[in-house]
Structure 1
Amino acid sequence: MKNFTRTCKLIIDLSRSDFKARYAGSFLGVVWGLVNPLMTLCVYWFVFEVGFRSGPRPDGTAFIVWLTCGMVIWFFLSESVSNSTNSLIEYSYLVKKISFNIIVLPVVKIVSSLYNHVFFLLVLLVILLTHDYSPHITNVQFLYYLLCGIYLSTSVGLVTSSLVVFIRDIAQIVGLVIQIGFWLIPIVWSPEIIKEEYMILFKLNPVYYLVEGYRDSFIDHIWFWDRTVQTPYFWLVTTVIFIVGLTMFKKLRPHFADVL
């Protein structure tokens, strides 16, 4: 128990330092970490609602509310996976320390991404309140989906951070997959435009479960246990990725210091 508490404290301390160091030297500091995603959100809202005149959803939900629910969790996942991929390279001096438990490094990057996520949850709250959305008991469910997001990011991060040490192109591939993956999930486009037989393919992506989960929590008020197929599917797929990542990390760990 003492070791677990010490590890948690280490992760929190390192994540805070990482968050501050990321924007050290810039005039606006950590504000840049908030401005870029916020501007991205505004651009997509302007293009799709103002430009393409998307208008309210079929159920009457304002497009900006529907869009923000999806973007909030997407920002967290994309930042977490991208940063955790390079965690061993960035903290190479810690990797070379024999006594340091380097498996916490991808987790440090993910926890560091949570600070921005909290800010965007506040943005989402403001948008909900300005559109006359009343609090609902299902709102607390976002914590469950956030936990799922952390689990998925950690699982993928273990795989990518292990491989990038030996194949540096992995970082570029991850960035490319993130860019393409954004358009393969109904974040800015409506799932109603896709035939149901094709939507099954999109639902195979575990990120789809998280994006829809945030909308279930804040808009549709659907509990995760009512997703009788998607919920067990998500945990099964993510657990397989985690086991693969953990096994890969442990097998390659003895060689990290030599390569770095």
Structure 2
Amino acid sequence: MGTLAKILKEQWEWRKQILSLGLFDLRKISRGAVLGPFWIFAKPAVYIGVFWFALEVGLRSGDSSGSGAPYILWLMGGLVPWFYIQEILGAGVDVFHRYNYLVTKIKFPLPGIPTIFSISTFVVQLGLIIGLLVVYFICGQTLDWYLIQIPIALVLMFVFFNMFSLMTSSLSAISKDFLSLMKTLSTPLFWLSGIIFNIFTIHNATLQSILLLNPIAFIAAMYRCAVYDKMWIWDRPSACIGFVVVFALTLIATLVIYRRTHEEVSDVL
């Protein structure tokens, strides 16, 4: 608990610097481009369009939900959070090398560095949420209480994957092999996380329970409950239990790994 208290204290004391650097990191992405922010959202929009065409038009796998929501909302419910998670699984698992100068020259608190990257990526996610809601209302869906699950999912996603980034970055700074492992796992995680298939339609209960231990599947399920299924995520207790278990284990692992490696990171870098 002492390690957790120290991490939270450092995050709070350096909150202004963390927020400022996170927003500055976001501005660097569009610097020098005439259209600026357009390019930040162009890639996700193209990906969504291509997947929608391939799955609904090409493979004819799309259908409407019982609430009348079209397939595009189900697809976006999985892909929109994936764009945030993908960044964490990519550059986010090695942020200490990405922000090397903060570690070796400024002596910035290590727990705040993953948050810098998470903030810049999170702002993009908020823009994608706006796009999701625009499509949601264009499809004729109405404002209801189920949509409150989106901000809840955003908070859970930010906290969990920021914690995950701190854990993996600590290991990546010590071992390049771990970094290579995480890069290798990124693509399999996409295909096995229920982003483009419905885990809840799998009839094998054991396999379904194993897949629901994946926090990515839980976040996607929350988005889809809000905009497509029109139900509460806690009506699917297997998904909630799996997320709580993995969250607790990841928190413990993060605290243990950070406590054992934080003094070595600056020396290694």
What's the TM-score, normalizing by structure 1?
A: 0.90
Query: Which sits farther off after the overlay, 194-203 or 156-165?
Result: 194-203
Confirm whether residue 16 of structure 1 aligns to residue 23 of structure 2. yes
Residue aligning to 1:238: 247
Residue aligning to 1:165: 173
Give the whole-Å Cα distance in 2 for the aligned partners of 1:217 and 1:178.
26
What's the TM-score, normalizing by structure 2?
A: 0.87
Residue aligning to 2:3: none
Give the whole-Å Cα distance in 1 for the aligned partners of 2:184 and 2:127.
26
- Which amino acid in structure 1 is aligned with residue 25 of structure 2? D
Do the aligned residues in 1 keep the contact of 2:73 with 2:227 (CA within 8 Å)?
A: no
Give the Å deviation of 1:104. Answer: 0.5
Do the aligned residues in 2 keep the contact of 1:151 with 1:238 (CA within 8 Å)?
A: no
Do the aligned residues in 2 keep the contact of 1:69 with 1:215 (CA within 8 Å)?
A: yes
CA distances 1:91-129 after superposition (whole Å, capped 9, x unpaired): 111112475212110111111111111111111111111
Number of matched pairs: 260
Give the whole-Å Cα distance in 1 for the aligned partners of 2:179 and 2:38.
25
Give the Å deviation of 1:230. Answer: 2.8
Give the whole-Å Cα distance in 2 for the aligned partners of 1:89 and 1:186.
31
Give the Å deviation of 1:32. Answer: 2.5
Do the aligned residues in 1 keep the contact of 2:215 with 2:243 (CA within 8 Å)?
A: yes
Task: Find 1:112's aligned residue among 100, 114, 120.
Answer: 120
Give 5+ residue unaligned stretches, structure 2.
1-7
Residue aligning to 2:258: 249
Give the whole-Å Cα distance in 2 for the aligned partners of 1:176 and 1:102.
25
Do the aligned residues in 1 keep the contact of 2:209 with 2:238 (CA within 8 Å)?
A: no
Rate the CA distance shift 1:143–1:192 in 2: closer, same or farther, 3 A: closer
Rate the CA distance shift 1:167–1:26 in 2: closer, same or farther, 3 A: farther
Query: Which sits farther off after the overlay, 181-190 or 156-165?
Result: 181-190
- Which amino acid in structure 2 is aligned with residue 13 of structure 1? S
Query: Which sits farther off after the overlay, 187-196 or 111-120?
Result: 187-196
Residue aligning to 1:44: 51
CA distances 1:122-146 after superposition (whole Å, capped 9, x unpaired): 1111111111100111211211111
Query: Which sits farther off after the overlay, 11-20 or 172-181?
Result: 172-181
Do the aligned residues in 2 keep the contact of 1:81 with 1:110 (CA within 8 Å)?
A: no
Instruction: Give the CA RMSD over aligned residues.
Output: 2.3
Give the whole-Å Cα distance in 2 for the aligned partners of 1:236 and 1:189.
23
- Of all paired residues, the percent bearing the same amino acid is 27
Query: Which sits farther off after the overlay, 241-250 or 25-34?
Result: 25-34
Task: Find 2:216's aligned residue among 182, 204, 207.
Answer: 207
